[in-house]
Structure 1
């Protein structure tokens, strides 16, 4: 198992959040301007990768620099390709949300694209953590944790949940029609199954 942290150039994570995820990982990739955020956080990436249009050059003396000018890929895609080369298995992504909404939506699309390529891939920000769920999922959470379910693309069908305050029983959610936001953990383990579609789960950070 090899855990890798990727830091993008969106809304910066808090020092506490960054430290939490950095402690989980053995290797640190900055996606272009994410290197500037890393410098402000007082840390140095192992690798800085991208077209380098946002990177100010401050870390060039101590990080490997990989210039990837392709406009067919965004900087997160380039960072994830590098994570594959490094044989990463568990990927944690910070700074991929906030600022421009179009870039946040693009990064959620990238999450779908790369989810099959790693054992675990998660996007986190100062509010919570997102992941795409497999057809059958079970895990424990602190009682009272807020969990939201969204269809990443179109419609998700056959959703059944256990352990949540508002259960679903072989039901669907669909963009523009119905979602599963702001549910709450009341019992463990939380179990979520679905039959078809891309089901995105957002878990709100507990303040304690």
Structure 2
């Protein structure tokens, strides 16, 4: 069975609101401690991956009791557990992927690594979103025109990850851009605000994060 969307639950902060995004048609992958998070919320992941240094033996036993497929990884490896999970997603060829728990926790190295993984997913043709209680992050690659629907988030930021993003036009935001250029290392695209219920971003070249956010 081909799944349209895969949910990857990692070991960072995951709230009930995040878990409510999961539907019965999604394929769920629990990554190490994220597999225990799934169990804590009453969700049995279809697949659990990781070295399970965080989840521990008790979680593994419970996953096995629920007949979850488990792929145990060595602690000494060349990719993170989350990176490995996303290689499994690419093999499945879903239309989209949602990453939960990828921004929380105390490890900023993992936070930056997870943001970087969006680029590989975009290159694989899988629309991938990182969802956090106060942030939703996606990566855009030009040329293209992209539409966003307003939800609970207040701010709409554009952060270049290539040296520059060219031919950038925005519609439906309080401070519009018209065929302009944003540069990595500058902050002009940060903290724009919604003006209408639908926003559009058009870019001719470059890659950027779209970060929708709100305060606590």
Structure 1-normalised TM-score? Answer: 0.87
Unpaired runs of at least 5, structure 2 = none
Paired with 1:53 and 1:153, the residues of 2 have a C-alpha distance of 35
Give the alignment of 1:3-152 within 5 angstroms: 3-11=5-13, 13-19=14-20, 21-23=21-23, 25-57=25-57, 58=59, 59-62=63-66, 63-69=68-74, 71-98=77-104, 99-134=106-141, 135-141=144-150, 145-152=154-161
Q: CA contact under 8 A between 1:143 and 1:186: conserved in structure 2?
A: no
Q: Closer, same or farther in 2 for the Cα pair 1:172/1:86, shift >3 Å?
A: same
Unpaired runs of at least 5, structure 1 = none
Q: CA contact under 8 A between 1:88 and 1:118: conserved in structure 2?
A: no
Confirm whether residue 204 of structure 1 aligns to residue 213 of structure 2. yes
Structure 2-normalised TM-score? Answer: 0.84
Q: CA contact under 8 A between 2:100 and 2:130: conserved in structure 1?
A: yes
Aligned length: 205
